[in-house]
Structure formats: structure tokens, C-alpha cells
Amino acid sequence: QLMTTYMKRTTIVSFFFIIFGFPVFSQGLRNDSALVERQEANGQLVYDNFTGPQASIYNGSEYIAYIFKREGMPFFEADTMSLGWVGYEGRIYKPMIIQFDIARNQVLILASDRRSKIVLHNELIDSFSLLNHIFKKLEASSAKNLSTTGFYEFLYGGNLMVYANRKKLFKDVIKDNELVRIFGKEDRYYIFKGGKYYLVNNKKDVYGLLADKKSEIKSAMRRRKIKFRKNNFEEALLVAAEIYDQH
């Protein structure tokens, strides 16, 4: 099961680069015409791997850690930083040590001193990846039916695309005369179909949006013994999207 999950994540990463791509030439490489000509002659893709201390990606502010006691975590998937990459100012920085503080909506990288964390400027981030999960910035658009700009996890790509908007909610309580912040998660799912984003909260929303192939989806999901439930909505949604693309 773990291997299957890894393979699915790897496929998503590959699909993401094929569909969206990135302008990965740095300004320095553009100016070096001789190098560009050599690379073009060889048919090679030049990646901007410059991650030295003078790189613009390190110009963010220092991250302020949580100092109070907490239950749960504000971060995506893990309390620790992980290897990944960042699309920043139209270029790819990789590999990078990265973390996503969902509660604060802050993308963090390890500073060049390898001790502190830096908060990236959200307006300069195109996308990022950590733990084999990809997040893409989607811009609010009334024409595309998307109300909120933010980082959405790219879950599935085909004729349909499926995204998740990960949220961390919290409440402060007093326990044993001490302030404790309790974190919980709230995920919202979107299907991109026909040039528009649609929020899907439940089975009714999914079948309503995919009504043209509703019977095929239901039949295939019955055969696979998969049902839409609160604790497996994401899994069922991705299966439904896959079935939709197959019919």
C-alpha cells in the first residue's frame, strides 16, 4: 500500500510538470549567451539550482516559532522540515529544505546558515513540493468560479483536476493554568471542470457535477467497494475522478 501511494504521488509530480511547466532559466543564465547556445545545441533543459546565500529566495523574514503549548500541529504532515522544491519568482529552487505552516499560511525554507527558518513571500511563490505532495498557487477569479487565492494541493490531473485547500483551525484553552492551542484540520476540495473550479463537500456535490457519467461512476465504485464517507471522502473523490476520465 505504501509503495502504491508513493507511485501515485510520483505520477502526480510528473503530471504536474508536464501540464504546468516552469520558466526555469535564471537571469544569469539568460545573460550568458554562450552557455545558452551550448545548452540549446545539446537540447538540454537548464535548471536554476542556485541556492547560495545571496539567492533572492533567502530575502524573506525569519520565522517566529510557536512558544506556547499546543496539541496537534499547525504544519502540513510533519512537525519537521523535509526535502522538496519551490517555484519562486518563475524559477525552480531544488533541492530545498521546506515546511508548510498551514495555520499561518506560511511556506518556510531552511536559512543559508542551516539554523533558522525563513518565511517566503507568498506573492512570489508559484508552487512548492514536500513529502511528495505538490501545492500550486491558484488565483481568485470570478470567471473561473474561485473566490480565494491560496496554495491548493494538486491531487489529480486528467480531463478533470482535483485540488484540496488545506486548512488548520485552532482554539485556545486553559489547562492546568496554562494556555494551550489546539489545532484541528479542515480540508476543502475542488474539481476543475470545463474551465471552472467547483467546491465539492459531499457525495451529492460530486455526483451533481459529474452527472453525465454518474451511473458509470456509481457502478465502478460499487465494484471496488468504495463509498463516500466523511473519513474517506478524499480517497473516494479521487477514485470518482479517475473513473470519470476512463469513461
**Average pLDDT by consecutive 10-residue portion of the chain (247 residues)?**
48 56 39 42 39 79 93 95 96 95 97 92 97 97 97 96 96 93 96 98 97 96 94 96 95
The three three-digit cell numbers of residue 175, written as one number = 489547562
Measured CA to CA in angstroms, residue 178 lies from 46, 68, 85, 100, 181 at distances of: 53, 9, 38, 27, 10
* Tally: H helices and E strands in the chain: 6, 12
The three three-digit cell numbers of residue 110, written as one number = 531552511
User: Strand 82-88 to strand 69-71: parallel, antiparallel, or no bridges (unpaired)?
Assistant: unpaired
Secondary element (H or E) of residue 223: helix 214-223
The amino acid sitting at 209 is L
The pTM score is: 0.79
